[in-house]
Structure 1
Amino acid sequence: MTTPPAPDHDPAPGAEVLTAREVLREPAEVAYADELAALAAADDRPRPPRWRLSPWAVTTYLLGGTLGDGTVITPKYLGSRRLMEIAVASLATDRALLLLGVPGTAKTWVGEHLAAAVSGSSALVVQGTAGTPEESLRYGWNYARLLAEGPSRAALVPSPVMRAMESGAVVRIEELTRIPADVQDALITILSEKTLPVPELDTQVPARPGFNVIATANNRDKGVNELSSALKRRFNTVVLPLPDTLEQEVEIVRTRVAAIGAGLALPADVGATSEIERVVTVFRELRSGTTADQRTTVKSPSATLSTAEAISVMTNGLALAAHFGDGTVRADDVAAGLVGAVVKDPVQDRLVWQEYLETVVKDRRSWADLYRACRELG
C-alpha cells in the first residue's frame, strides 16, 4: 500500500497525522498511485498543458489494460470505451464536463478518477446542496481580517473553484442541479471567460491552462434546479448508463465489493458470484418491469435499484457473514439488505415486493433459500 503524499502545510498543533493504513478510504490518487506512476513513465503521447497524463493514458487508467512493461492497470469503469474517450476529450477542450445519469451509475467515481489522472489530485470538490452558497463557487472572506484590515488578498478565502483556476487543475462539482439556480449562474463567467472577477479588490483571477470543471447531476433531480440554457451550453454532457448486461453488472458489483471488503478488513469471502447474480437479477428485473426471460411482467418499486445499491446490499451481506456467519455470503446474509433496498415506501413498495416474491422468486427452485430468507423477514 502506498503512503499518502506529504501535506502542503504543517498540521495544526496537536493534530494527528494519519498514515495510509489509518484512513477509511484513500483518495484515488493515493490508492492507485503505483498505477498512475507506471502510466506516467510509459506515456510518450502528447499531454495537454499541466496534465499529468495524456488523454490516451487517462482513458487506459479508467478502463484498464496492460502496459509494455507488464504492469496491469485495473479497470475503474466497466462500460463503453467511447463514452470515456468523449469525457476525457471534453476535458482537453475549453468546455466543462457534465456527467449525467440516474443515481448509482458511477458519476462521482468516474469524476474522482478523472481528476486524479488529469491533475494528480481529486481533492478540489464542491458538494452541491440546496444550501450551497455562492462563496463555494467563487470566494469568501476571513471576516476577522476583513474588519481589521479591510478588503485584501490576504483576507480572501478562495473556493475550490478559485484554487483550481489558480493552479490549472480540475475541480469537481457534485450534484450541480441541487445547487440553487442563482448560485449556479456564478459558473457562467468562470466557464465562458475563464476568469473570476473580484470586484472588491478591483481585480480578477485568470484561469491557468489545465483548469476545467467536472460536474455531476442526477436524472432523478430533473425539475429541482435545472441548468439554465446559458450554463448548459458551457458543458459537454456525457450520460452514464446502467450496465448493459447482467454479466457486466455482476462483475462491477463483485469488483467493488471485494475492494470495499478488503478496505474494511472484513474476514469474509463473497465466494462464488451466485449471490451477486441473484441480487443483480432481482434489481434488473424490477427496474425493467419484466423477468429476464421476458415471460412475466412485474411491477417496479419507487427505488432506483442501481448498481451502487447492489454493491451496498452485498457489502452488508459480507459484514453479516463475517461477524455472524461462517464467513461465506449466503441467502440469509443478503435478504435483509435486499428487502431494505427495494422497500422504500412501506405501503406501495411492500406490495410490489410481495408480488414479486410470490410470482417470480417462489417459482425458481434454485432460489428456494432466498425465498425462505425473504419471507422470514416478513
Structure 2
Amino acid sequence: MTLTDTAPAVMRPHAEDVYAHELALLAEQDDRPRPPGWRLSPQAVVTYLLGDGDRITPKYIGARRLMEVAVATLATDRSLLLIGVPGTAKTWVSEHLAAAVSGDSTLLVQGTAGTPEEAVRYGWNYAKLLAEGPSPAAVVPSPMMRAMETGAVARVEELTRIPSDVQDTLITILSEKTLPIPELGTEVQAAKGFTVIATANDRDRGVNELSSALRRRFNTVVLPVPGSVDEEVEIVSRRVASLGRALEIPAVEDTATEIRRVVTVFRELRDGVTTDGRTKVKTPSGTMSVAEAISVVTAGMTLAAHFGDGVLRPADVAAGIRGAVVRDPAADGPVWREYLETVARERDDWHDFYTAAREQG
C-alpha cells in the first residue's frame, strides 16, 4: 500500500492537480512553438487561463491582453510582477501560470516581515554541517534554488512584505540567472525555463518598497478590479462553485440573487456611490475585495446547507457582509448603518436583506 492509498483527500489541491485533464488536453493539441522548458506554448497557456468556451474552463476573467503580456514576459529573460489591490486574483493567476508553464506551482516563497534570506537562497542542515563541514549534502535548497535547478517557475508572494535586504538577494538571481554558494566555492546556474512570478499588493506601498535595481528586473502587470457588476458576479459565482465542490458543501439552490446582492454591496461601498450613480455612500476602512465577497457567499451557502432549507437567502449572507464591512466598529459601524438606511431600505426587492442585516446589529 502506498502513501497515496492511505493519505486523506487534501482540502486544496494544487492547480496542476485540479486541472490536470485540461493541461493534458492542451498539451496534446498544442502544435505551436514552446519556449525551452515549457509544457505548453504561450498561446496554449493563455487559452488555459481564459478558457476556450468548450472543454477549457476560464481561470481568469478579464482582459485577454493582460494575460498575453504576462505570458509573453515569462517567455523572455525578464520576470513578472503582478500588482493589484486585494482580491484581483494575483495569487490565483500566478499559481495557474506556474502550473501551465512548468507543471509545478508549489515552488513558493511566502513574503512576510519575517521572511529570512534562506527562504530565497538556501539554508543548511546543521547536523550535517557540524559533522561534515560545508558540503553539497548539507545544503537545504530554497524553492528558488529548486526552480533554478529544474528550469521551473518560482513564485514569490507579497514581495513588498519581505524586508528590503532580503528582497535584494533576488537581484543576482534575476539578472545573472545564477545563485552563488560562496561556502562551497560554486554556484547554481538556472536551467532553461526558469523564471520568477512575484505578486505585490497596492495597499502595501510604503511597507518595503522595491529598490529601483530590483524593479528593473521585473515587467509589471497591473491586475484591475472587475470592470462591471456582471464580470464580478461571474468571478464570484465560478470561485464559489469551485470552493463548494472542494469543500463538499451540500448543494444550495437559488444562489444567483444573493451573489449579485453581495457583489452590489461590495462594489457600492468600495466605489463610494450606488450602481445607478445617484447616491453617494461612505466607504469603510476595509478593502471590500472580490476575495472577501467569495468568502461571504461561501459562508452563506454553508449556513443555508447545514442550518437552513438548502436555499441561499438574505439572512445567510447578511452577517458575513456586516463582518466584512465593520472591521473597526467605531469607524465602520456608522458607515454600515447609513448604507442600510439610505440604500438597502429604499430598494423594493431588498426588504428581506434590510431586515436581516438590521437584526445583526
Normalising by structure 1, we get a TM-score of: 0.94
1:295 and 1:19 map into 2 onto residues whose CA distance is: 59
1:162 shift after superposition: 0.4
**Match of residue 198, structure 2, among 212, 215, 220:** 215
1:180 partnered with 2:200: no
Q: Would the alpha carbon gap of residues 131 and 265 (structure 1) be closer, same or farther in structure 2, given more than 3 Å must change?
A: same
**Match of residue 131, structure 1, among 107, 110, 114:** 114
1:79 and 1:136 map into 2 onto residues whose CA distance is: 33
Q: Residue 107 of structure 1 corresponds to which residue in structure 2?
A: 90
Amino acid at match of 2:48: Y
1:352 partnered with 2:352: no
1:258–1:270 CA contact under 8 A, matched in 2:
no
1:344 and 1:377 map into 2 onto residues whose CA distance is: 15
1:312 and 1:77 map into 2 onto residues whose CA distance is: 18
CA RMSD between the two structures: 1.4
Q: Residue 15 of structure 2 corresponds to which residue in structure 1?
A: 28
Amino acid at match of 2:271: S
**Consecutive aligned runs of 4 or more in structure 1 exceeding 4 Å deviation:** 18-21
Q: Residue 48 of structure 1 corresponds to which residue in structure 2?
A: 35
Structure 2 residue ranges without an equivalent (≥5): none
1:352 and 1:310 map into 2 onto residues whose CA distance is: 18
Greater alpha carbon shift after TM alignment, 131-140 vs 272-281: 272-281
Greater alpha carbon shift after TM alignment, 246-255 vs 267-276: 267-276
Q: Residue 237 of structure 1 corresponds to which residue in structure 2?
A: 220
Amino acid at match of 1:278: R
1:268–1:319 CA contact under 8 A, matched in 2:
no
1:21 shift after superposition: 7.0
Q: Residue 131 of structure 2 corresponds to which residue in structure 1?
A: 148
Structure 1 residue ranges without an equivalent (≥5): 1-13
1:19 shift after superposition: 7.1
1:18 shift after superposition: 6.1
Secondary structure of the 1:275 match is helix
1:324 partnered with 2:307: yes
**Match of residue 286, structure 2, among 278, 299, 303:** 303
Secondary structure of the 1:126 match is strand
Secondary structure of the 1:22 match is coil
Q: Residue 5 of structure 1 corresponds to which residue in structure 2?
A: none
Q: Residue 88 of structure 1 corresponds to which residue in structure 2?
A: 71
Q: Write out per-residue CA displacement over residues 241-300 of structure 1, whole angstroms, 9 at most, x where no aligned residue.
A: 110000000011111111111111111325241111111001111111111111111100
1:170 and 1:105 map into 2 onto residues whose CA distance is: 21
2:147–2:153 CA contact under 8 A, matched in 1:
yes
Secondary structure of the 1:267 match is coil
Secondary structure of the 1:65 match is coil
2:37 and 2:255 map into 1 onto residues whose CA distance is: 44
1:247 partnered with 2:230: yes
After superposition, residues 5-16 of structure 1 pair within 5 angstroms as none
Q: Residue 259 of structure 2 corresponds to which residue in structure 1?
A: 276
2:107–2:153 CA contact under 8 A, matched in 1:
yes
Amino acid at match of 1:22: A
Greater alpha carbon shift after TM alignment, 240-249 vs 270-279: 270-279
1:128–1:176 CA contact under 8 A, matched in 2:
yes
Amino acid at match of 1:38: L
2:317 and 2:212 map into 1 onto residues whose CA distance is: 44
Q: Write out per-residue CA displacement over residues 105-128 of structure 1, whole angstroms, 9 at most, x where no aligned residue.
A: 110000000000000110100101
Q: Residue 8 of structure 1 corresponds to which residue in structure 2?
A: none
Q: Residue 257 of structure 1 corresponds to which residue in structure 2?
A: 240
2:28 and 2:44 map into 1 onto residues whose CA distance is: 10
2:209 and 2:255 map into 1 onto residues whose CA distance is: 43
1:268–1:321 CA contact under 8 A, matched in 2:
no
Amino acid at match of 2:82: L
Q: Write out per-residue CA displacement over residues 130-149 of structure 1, whole angstroms, 9 at most, x where no aligned residue.
A: 00000000000001100110
1:17 shift after superposition: 3.6
Normalising by structure 2, we get a TM-score of: 0.98
User: Identity percentage over the alignment?
Assistant: 70
2:117 and 2:337 map into 1 onto residues whose CA distance is: 47
2:267 and 2:251 map into 1 onto residues whose CA distance is: 26
Secondary structure of the 2:329 match is coil
2:255–2:311 CA contact under 8 A, matched in 1:
no
Q: Residue 55 of structure 2 corresponds to which residue in structure 1?
A: 72
1:91 shift after superposition: 0.4
